[in-house]
Structure 1
Amino acid sequence: MTAHLSETLTLLLIEDDDGDALLVEELLKEAGAPPHVHRARTVEEAKARLSPEIQCVLVDLNLPDAQGLEALEQVLALAPYAAVLVLTGLRDMHVGVAAVQAGAQDYLVKQDVDARLLARAIRYAMERKRADLAQLRLVQAELTAQENARLESGLLPVALLPSTSVEHATRYLPGSRGTLLAGDFLDTVQTPDGAVHVVVGDVCGHGPDEAALGVAMRIAWRTLVLAGQTGDTLLRTLDSLLRAERKTPEIFTTLCTATIAPDLGGVRMRVVGHPPPVLVRDGVVTVVEGAPSGPPLGIFTDAAWPEIEVPLGAEWSIMLYTDGLIEAAAGGDEEPLGVEGLVRLVREHGDVDLDRLIAQAGELSDDLAAVLVRRRASR
């Protein structure tokens, strides 16, 4: 009966006995799709023959330069992404069991092998290897996500907002592209004069360098605000810091700053190459007009960022966010949510509800930082 392998495979047979090697090769020729078989007589010879196209390794554990589990350990180290099938003799069945416990996908007793059993063992060994690698990737992803979450939570600021006159909420979420650290940052500070200062920014790129740069920008912003520096002085200082700290000249940063007046009746904003804030005033939902008010930081040395003044009134909500929110695929559609879609969702809700808004925005393809500041009318 013809053995069955559903795809043409590339195998490496590590066997010093010519008779045993010939038997295996003849049995494999009976497969429905006979595999390409490379032969090595020693582990040292196998080093030169192992390559990424090798999908399965059949190894005898009695080789001239390695014996027993020592041979297996060397093969596993040489071929971490290939399935490994151990060939043993009748007297070495216990070695086969130990080999599976040590990392091999399966073992075969040479005297019991026929074409059908060999083909099935190879197929099953490869499936087990795929499952093992998938599980390993899952565990690694979970560990990386946990570590990133721990780092991100440790890097996020505690708002300096002693006043209870306004409501304040933030969200910081990773996108679906993975667990990479991102350069999104946010902060809120109330100065002694009662003004509430908010920033949301996004360093382009993902990874530890961008995350570190985002933290540096956020700390610099907080320090400057507490020192009384705002407006052009603050932005030019941040621009200089970005140029000094970035790893490559292609790195830029978008951000939005807002300074809410002490009487909470108005806000001054600079939208630096960033998505426009969403404003809800007396039940009317809009985006801040005039945004962006200038290019991102790190692009032009002579850039200017005009101030946008917006009256707020007695009851209002204002949301600053990074582009991860408007790049989400709304409702699973391929098209991103966009600013218009974001405004539509806020109108449907009647106000800004961060959790509900993010849930309805769809799957995040990029990281998200958002700050909501709200003032309710006195009853």
Structure 2
Amino acid sequence: MPVPVPRQRNAPAVESTGDGADGNAAGGGGVSSVGARGVNGSVSSGDLTLLVIEDDPAGTFSVPQLLDAAGTRIRIRSARNLTEAERLLTDDVHCILVDLALPGAWDEELGPLTHVLRLAPRHAVLALTTSGDAERAAEAVRVGAQDHLFRDELDGRLLSRAIRYAVERKRADMAQVKLAESKLRAQENARLERGLLPTPLLQGSNLRFSARYRPGRSRALLGGDFYDTVRTPDGTVHAMIGDVCGHGPDEAALGVELRIAWRALTFAGLCGDELLSTLQQVLEHERESEEIFATLCTVDIAPDGRRAGLCLAGHPAPLLARHGRAAQLLPYDDGGPALGLLPRARWPRRQVELGGAWSLMMYTDGLIEGRSGPDTRQRLGQDGMVEMINRQLASGLEGEELLESAVAEVRELNGGELTDDVAVLLLSRSGSRS
């Protein structure tokens, strides 16, 4: 049954001008492009375009455009079937009005609507039916339409308001979907990064292990810093900490590769210069450019826990605290260069006496490169870190509490979050005093 052309109650229909003056295109009113916005563009201002899909010989939607109460021009584009609608569905269409009574051989009760939803998943969709078919109209909303309109109640004011609401609702729905997808990706990334953080293998050792890790990248769990600790079958405890230059995901991935390679080479029996030379080969093969390098500090603690071998590859020296003595930096004047800087570099292994009871703290430069106070540009540096750790040791802090306090104080001194990655690990031994 022919339906009257939608009427404007408070605002008259705007006469077609220029681009819309030709009236009906193949089966409907011709309109001009209003810009490729779809539902992603703001509908608070600017024109909207409606694509009407209905088989009405009388031309229900014969006017090329309407003007809503807010002054927004709504341009109407008409198609008599889905094939024609697919041709007219360009990026400047904001909303689609589909007649649920559209003729055709449909496998589903809401065949026309289902086809449109598959054809235009990013567009707002309105379902058109009669007031006597309210149940079908409600089902149309349940399967994906933003709203429904009854043909025998339709006028220009109702149509323009429905279009505006449908576009806004679709934009909100898409934003919610993107938010959910973003949360899922973040959860997957978090699970992945947690899986890439090391689990120390110290079974059978009497050493206590503590670690703190804080990536510099916002919302990341993993940065370019890396560390690991393992105990080999001969009873030696090996510990390592390193830092890949840079702060992005590529640097984080390279740090994981170096950590895994270090663990494998350590269990294979490599140590000192031989191990670092092999790690440099891994770095040179895996890095994105020749400008990428990594600093590294390794220690191998003898089975009796009283002495250790130390190798430095451009990395800050560890801090050793013995019972009854102030913490001091281990010697660092004869270390080697960072990995990846010199093709045939060497890294001497230095013997260090630990004693009976001690704590050995290894760290990356993110711990010492922050400011020494919120109102100064001076860096904390190694001397400031040693002073801070001695003060915390004197207050009785140790293990996890010591590292937590150290990282928190460094952040406080910096006046906010640190921009560089921070990794700190602590190995401690309680034994006969010496």
Provide TM-score, normalisation by structure 2. 0.64
Query: For the pair shown, which has the larger CA radius of gyration, 1 or 2?
Result: 2
1:7, distance to aligned residue in structure 2 (A): 1.8
How many pairs align?
A: 368
SS at match of 1:86: strand
Q: Which residue of 2 aligns with 1:131?
A: 172
SS at match of 1:81: coil
Query: 279, 297, 308: which one pairs with 1:257?
Result: 297
Q: CA 1:180 to 1:201, structure 2 compared with 1: closer, same or farther past 3 Å?
A: same
> In structure 2, what residue type is equivalent to 1:103?
G
Whether the aligned pair in 2 keeps the contact of 1:267 and 1:309 (CA below 8 Å) is: yes
Segments of structure 2 that go 5 or more residues without pairing to the other structure are 1-9, 13-42
Query: 226, 230, 238: which one pairs with 1:197?
Result: 238
* Bigger share in helix: 1
Q: Which residue of 2 aligns with 1:241?
A: 282
Query: 21, 29, 48: which one pairs with 2:67?
Result: 29
1:53, distance to aligned residue in structure 2 (A): 5.2
Residues 75-100 of structure 1: per-residue CA shift (max 9 Å, x gap): 33343333333333334432321122
1:9, distance to aligned residue in structure 2 (A): 4.6
Whether the aligned pair in 2 keeps the contact of 1:43 and 1:65 (CA below 8 Å) is: no
Query: 356, 368, 373: which one pairs with 2:427?
Result: 373
Q: Which residue of 2 aligns with 1:270?
A: 312
SS at match of 2:110: helix
SS at match of 1:22: coil
Distance 2:391 2:120 in 1: 56
Distance 1:19 1:329 in 2: 73
Q: Which residue of 2 aligns with 1:108?
A: 149
Q: CA 1:9 to 1:32, structure 2 compared with 1: closer, same or farther past 3 Å?
A: same
1:192, distance to aligned residue in structure 2 (A): 5.1
Residues 237-295 of structure 1: per-residue CA shift (max 9 Å, x gap): 2232344456x5469462523214424455613245x6x46636355587986699534
Deviates more, 1:235-244 or 1:304-313: 304-313
Whether the aligned pair in 2 keeps the contact of 1:177 and 1:366 (CA below 8 Å) is: no
Q: Which residue of 2 aligns with 1:93?
A: 134
Q: CA 1:271 to 1:240, structure 2 compared with 1: closer, same or farther past 3 Å?
A: closer
> In structure 1, what residue type is equivalent to 2:361?
I
Residues 135-168 of structure 1: per-residue CA shift (max 9 Å, x gap): 3233333433443444444444432224554320
1:47, distance to aligned residue in structure 2 (A): 3.6
1:8, distance to aligned residue in structure 2 (A): 1.6
Q: Which residue of 2 aligns with 1:140?
A: 181
Query: 334, 344, 361: which one pairs with 1:318?
Result: 361
Q: Which residue of 1 aligns with 2:60?
A: 20
Q: Which residue of 2 aligns with 1:60?
A: 99
Whether the aligned pair in 2 keeps the contact of 1:199 and 1:257 (CA below 8 Å) is: yes
Residues 33-87 of structure 1: per-residue CA shift (max 9 Å, x gap): 4246362514334444445554443333344678663333333334333333333
1:318, distance to aligned residue in structure 2 (A): 0.7
Q: CA 1:243 to 1:290, structure 2 compared with 1: closer, same or farther past 3 Å?
A: same
Q: CA 1:359 to 1:124, structure 2 compared with 1: closer, same or farther past 3 Å?
A: farther
> In structure 1, what residue type is equivalent to 2:44?
S
Distance 2:152 2:145 in 1: 20
Distance 2:97 2:429 in 1: 71
> In structure 2, what residue type is equivalent to 1:19?
G
Whether the aligned pair in 2 keeps the contact of 1:267 and 1:312 (CA below 8 Å) is: no
Whether the aligned pair in 2 keeps the contact of 1:285 and 1:346 (CA below 8 Å) is: no
SS at match of 1:21: coil
Whether the aligned pair in 2 keeps the contact of 1:96 and 1:107 (CA below 8 Å) is: yes
Deviates more, 1:358-367 or 1:148-157: 358-367
Whether the aligned pair in 1 keeps the contact of 2:227 and 2:242 (CA below 8 Å) is: yes
Q: CA 1:45 to 1:244, structure 2 compared with 1: closer, same or farther past 3 Å?
A: farther
SS at match of 1:198: strand
- RMSD over equivalenced CA pairs, Å: 4.8
**Percent identity of equivalent pairs:** 40
Provide TM-score, normalisation by structure 1. 0.71
Whether the aligned pair in 2 keeps the contact of 1:259 and 1:268 (CA below 8 Å) is: yes
1:130, distance to aligned residue in structure 2 (A): 3.4
Distance 1:174 1:283 in 2: 29
Whether the aligned pair in 2 keeps the contact of 1:200 and 1:322 (CA below 8 Å) is: no
Q: CA 1:265 to 1:143, structure 2 compared with 1: closer, same or farther past 3 Å?
A: same
Residues 154-198 of structure 1: per-residue CA shift (max 9 Å, x gap): 444432224554320235667765579777643212345654322
SS at match of 1:269: strand
Segments of structure 1 that go 5 or more residues without pairing to the other structure are none
Q: CA 1:205 to 1:122, structure 2 compared with 1: closer, same or farther past 3 Å?
A: farther
**Matching of residue 44 in structure 1 with residue 86 in structure 2:** no
Q: CA 1:55 to 1:201, structure 2 compared with 1: closer, same or farther past 3 Å?
A: farther
**Matching of residue 225 in structure 1 with residue 266 in structure 2:** yes
Distance 1:144 1:336 in 2: 38
Distance 1:346 1:71 in 2: 72
